[in-house]
Amino acid sequence: MIGAIIVVYKPELQLTERLITRVYSQTEHVVIVDNSPEPHDFSSIIEHYDYLHFPDNIGIAGAHNHGLRLLLSKGCEYGVLLDQDSQITSDFVFRLSSLLIAAKSLKHNIVAIGPRINCSFTDKEQKSLIQREVFEYDELVGVTQIIASGMLIDLGLLDEIGFKDETLFIDGVDHEWCWRARSMNLQIARAKKVIMQHRLGDSRSKFAGVTYKVGSPIRLYYQFRNILLLSRRSYVPKYWKVRCLFFMPFRFFLNSVMQSDRRLRAQYMLRGLYDGLLGKKGAYHIHWH
């Protein structure tokens, strides 16, 4: 059986309901984890689903873990993770699951498969300039990490890998899990011919002819803090550590000086750096009131 976990936070209902309808027709179980302050009712568009509401926001890692445990309790063998900002085709789950099941039957040690990502802001495929391809065969290419949304996981391997790291709360959670799985000689793959539309980041800005992602102030806190936290871990790829640490000053400049709410953004980034250096983990409000 295949289940789906859809994480929402103050969703745009029209887009989210379209996603939920698509997922409902492709999976046996749907779990909606809502981190919004106010609850949402989706019973008008789908009949059977599990709804978990966390008004205090437990983060993306916590939301995934609650959903994954629920799917396991229902006997699901595979689980697909989706964000509210993603849009999928009517055969999305079938195509990914077929690839993962085929890889499993051939004894390939693949634990998760994700689609190619088409960014909603640019309408272009999101490609990494640095991430190396680990292997390639048939319709799959092995990679070091994929984003959480669109990721189809072999749930039977969760006991070996572990669940998502809730101490990170949000940013870097998907990549850290992939790196941890790869450190255990399990593989992460991307489907060559499966494409998903997804909104990466909150908005876009341009400086000196270069377009860059703009995150909300609170997301900047987690991004800066989690770079410092993850850079201490041995299984995190060196290329990621070097790239993120090198570009930190540039990101600080672009997300503070070049944005309107520069003081607030700078404050969150500085707090992220401070907590990252001290090794503080968990939700922002635990450390800053």
Q: What tens digit of pLDDT does each residue of 13-72 get?
A: 999 999 999 999 999 999 999 999 999 999 999 999 999 999 999 999 999 999 999 999
- Is a pLDDT exceeding 70 seen at residue 123? no
Which pLDDT score is estimated for 254? 87
- Is a pLDDT exceeding 80 seen at residue 211? no
Place of tokens 């990170």: 168
Which pLDDT score is estimated for 131? 61
> How many CA atoms, within 13 angstroms, populate the side-chain half-sphere of residue 174?
19
- Is a pLDDT exceeding 70 seen at residue 264? yes
> Measured between alpha carbons, how far is 29 from 72 in angstroms, rounded to an integer?
11
Q: How far is the CA of 177 from the CAs of 73, 158, 168, 181, 284, in angstroms? A: 21, 10, 11, 6, 21
Lowest mean pLDDT among 87-101, 116-130, 192-206: 116-130
Which pLDDT score is estimated for 19? 96
Position with higher pLDDT, 149 vs 131? 149
Q: Do 20 and 93 form a contact (C-beta atoms < 8 A)? A: no
Confidence of residue 215 (pLDDT cuts 50, 70, 90): confident
Partners of 110 in beta bridges: 187
Confidence of residue 136 (pLDDT cuts 50, 70, 90): confident
Start-to-end Cα distance in the chain = 43
Q: What is the mean pLDDT of residues 204-212?
A: 57
Write down the mean pLDDT value for the chain. Answer: 91
CB atoms within 10 A of CB 101: 14
Residues in the chain: 289
- The reported pTM is 0.93
Both tokens assigned to 10: 């103050």
Q: How confident is the model over 217-249, as pLDDT tens digits? A: 999 999 999 999 999 999 999 999 999 999 999
Which pLDDT score is estimated for 135? 80
> How many CA atoms, within 13 angstroms, populate the side-chain half-sphere of residue 74?
21
DSSP 182-227: HTTT-EEEEEEEEEEEE--SSEEEEETTEEEEE--HHHHHHHHHHH
Helices (H), the chain: 13-24, 59-73, 92-105, 158-161, 173-182, 217-230, 238-256, 262-278, 284-287
Q: Do 165 and 176 form a contact (C-beta atoms < 8 A)? A: yes
Please name each of the domains of the chain with its CATH number: 2-198 (3.90.550.10), 203-287 (no CATH)
- Is a pLDDT exceeding 70 seen at residue 111? yes
Which pLDDT score is estimated for 121? 58
Place of tokens 């703009």: 214
Position with higher pLDDT, 136 vs 264? 264
Which pLDDT score is estimated for 210? 61
Confidence of residue 187 (pLDDT cuts 50, 70, 90): very high
Which pLDDT score is estimated for 105? 85
Confidence of residue 154 (pLDDT cuts 50, 70, 90): very high
